């Protein structure tokens, strides 16, 4: 018999684990859960930064948050991360698979190492966390898994081929898992951000007319993530206006849609991105700069 998931407005005392929690969307999401009274564990490959982030977010009296090392591509590392979270705070209630990278450039010029790294983090990382969380949640008959996908997964763009492919996978995988786990009382939601004002999209040349429509702050995504916990939502888009625009555009014939993108220069957001800003980001995610 299927369980009915109810909106959880009170997150006080709930145990939440967030991947890629040292910066960007992960950090903002941790702050949003802490503000709602949750006990939060953030994981990141950058141990020094994730510990610093946890200390900063845990400054308010009563806040409970800790930063732990985590390599989402390593199943044993992920299992150890969740085990430690439960030792510290108790049974896991929510896992947010947020860790991801978005290098840009033409696919034919993309190194094999970069392609593999993107797939390892964006795909294998989500698979690892989802399986480990699902096993815990199903055994208890409750819990919520949130996988951060992207609107790029349904509205692909040049210079993002591999990234769009990974996010298309995350969306399809998450919506399938949603159907599998609903009968066990477990929520599974894919959150699809637009262009988020973080280092990940630094240097993007979003057309002026689309700035307000497609660009959001990490805090906006964080609130979307918090709001879906405990609900039966399968997909949540932020900003909603961009999601509606993409749906309408999808009704156009393919030639018309591509012509519109060229006329508005929306297809040049990453093909003409600021090379210096992208180079700095690429250096960090490959370990060449930190």
Catalytic status, residue 107? no
Give yes or no for a contact between 14 and 91, defined as CB atoms under 8 angstroms apart. Answer: no
Distance from the Cα of residue 120 to its chain's centroid: 15
| Whole-prediction pTM | 0.89
Catalytic residue among 89, 163, 173, 270: 163
Question: Domain locations in the chain?
Answer: 15-285
First to last CA, the chain: 50
- 81 burial (CB, 10 Å; 0-12 / 13-18 / 19+) is buried
Topology of domain 15-285, per CATH? Answer: Rossmann fold (3.40.50)
Distance, in Å, from the CA atom of 75 to the CA atom of 128, rounded to the nearest integer, reads 6
Along the 290 residues of the chain, how does pLDDT read in single tens digits?
333 334 445 899 999 999 999 999 999 999 999 999 999 999 999 999 999 999 999 988 789 999 999 999 999 999 999 999 999 999 999 999 999 999 999 999 999 999 999 999 999 999 999 999 999 999 999 999 999 999 999 988 899 999 999 999 999 999 999 999 999 999 999 999 988 989 888 877 775 545 555 678 999 999 999 999 999 999 999 977 666 666 666 666 777 666 666 655 566 677 878 888 888 989 999 875 44
- The sheet with strand 144-148 has its strands ordered as 64-69, 39-44, 15-19, 94-97, 144-148, 187-193, 235-238
Q: Nearest to residue 221, comparing CAs of 199, 197, 201?
A: 197
């Amino acid at each position: 018999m299927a369980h009915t998931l109810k909106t959880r407005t009170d997150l006080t005392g709930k145990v939440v684990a967030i991947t890629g929690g040292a910066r960007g969307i992960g950090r903002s999401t941790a702050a949003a859960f802490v503000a709602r009274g949750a006990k939060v564990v953030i994981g990141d490959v950058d141990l020094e930064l994730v510990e610093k982030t946890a200390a900063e977010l845990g400054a308010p009296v009563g806040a409970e948050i800790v930063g732990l090392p985590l390599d989402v591509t390593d199943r044993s590392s992920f299992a150890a991360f969740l085990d430690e979270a439960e030792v510290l705070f108790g049974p896991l209630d929510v896992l947010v698979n947020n860790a991801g990278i978005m290098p840009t450039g033409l696919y034919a010029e993309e190194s094999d190492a970069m392609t593999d790294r993107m797939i390892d983090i964006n795909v294998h990382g989500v698979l690892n966390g989802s399986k480990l969380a699902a096993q815990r949640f199903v055994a208890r008959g409750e819990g919520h898994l949130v996988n951060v996908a992207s609107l790029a997964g349904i509205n692909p763009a040049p210079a993002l081929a591999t990234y769009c492919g990974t996010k298309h996978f995350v969306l399809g995988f998450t919506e399938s898992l949603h159907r599998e786990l609903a009968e066990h009382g477990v929520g599974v939601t894919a959150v699809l951000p637009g262009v988020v004002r973080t280092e990940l999209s630094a240097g993007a040349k979003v057309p002026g007319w689309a700035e307000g429509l497609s660009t959001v702050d990490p805090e906006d995504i964080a609130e979307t993530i918090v709001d879906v916990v405990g609900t039966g939502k399968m997909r949540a888009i932020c900003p909603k206006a961009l999601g509606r625009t993409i749906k309408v555009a999808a009704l156009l014939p393919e030639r018309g849609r591509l012509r519109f993108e060229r006329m508005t220069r929306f297809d040049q957001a990453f093909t003409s991105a600021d090379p210096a800003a992208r180079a700095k980001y690429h250096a960090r995610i490959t370990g060449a700069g930190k």
